């Protein structure tokens, strides 16, 4: 079965990591657009899933093992599950990335939004 999600229906959620816009989520994969404002810094933390990310706009600083590396628009980076990584945007412009997490920690978009919103209260 083909499933289509329309961009006009996407809902954004403000989080400490930036503005998250869930695009597609099922039990296997989680795709999120993340807008990271200029000046935002997120301390090193890990996730239970592998994360593949594509920088679609701007640039971002990745902090891992006391090393800082800048990823630019068009670059791709991979973060294995349970590896602590921090991100920051010390640059003048906002950054946008698309993240693909697998396996997914959620069954669907509604569950993702419900859990995320409960954490933000």
Averaged pLDDT for residues 52-73:
96
**Helix (H) or strand (E) segment spanning residue 109:** helix 109-119
Domain for residue 7, yes or no?
Answer: no
Least confident of 29-33, 72-76, 77-81, 117-121: 117-121
pLDDT exceeding 90 applies to what percent of the chain?
75
pLDDT at 74: 98
Half-sphere exposure in the Cβ direction for 25 (13 Å, CA): 21
Averaged pLDDT for residues 50-55:
98
Q: At residue 1, does pLDDT exceed 90? A: no
Angle, CA of 50, 51 and 54, to the nearest 5°: 155
Domain for residue 101, yes or no?
Answer: yes
Q: Which two tokens stand for residue 55?
A: 């920088």
With the CA atoms of 39, 42, 47 and 49 taken in that order, what torsion angle do they form, in degrees rounded to the nearest 10?
A: 10
Q: Which range of residues forms the domain containing residue 77?
A: 14-116
Q: At residue 49, does pLDDT exceed 90? A: yes
CATH number of the CATH domain containing 109 = 2.60.120.10
pLDDT at 7: 84
Domain for residue 6, yes or no?
Answer: no
């Amino acid at each position: 079965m083909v499933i289509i999600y329309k961009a006009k229906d996407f809902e954004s959620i403000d989080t400490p990591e930036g503005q998250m816009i869930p695009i597609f989520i099922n039990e296997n994969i989680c795709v999120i657009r993340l807008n990271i404002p200029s000046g935002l810094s997120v301390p090193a933390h890990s996730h239970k899933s592998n994360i593949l990310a594509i920088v679609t706009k701007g640039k971002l600083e990745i902090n891992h093992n006391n090393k800082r590396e800048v990823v630019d628009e068009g670059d791709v980076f991979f973060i294995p599950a349970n590896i602590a990584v921090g991100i920051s945007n010390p640059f003048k412009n906002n950054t946008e990335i698309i993240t693909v997490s697998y396996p997914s920690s959620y069954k669907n978009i509604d569950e993702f939004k419900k859990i995320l919103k409960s954490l933000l209260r």
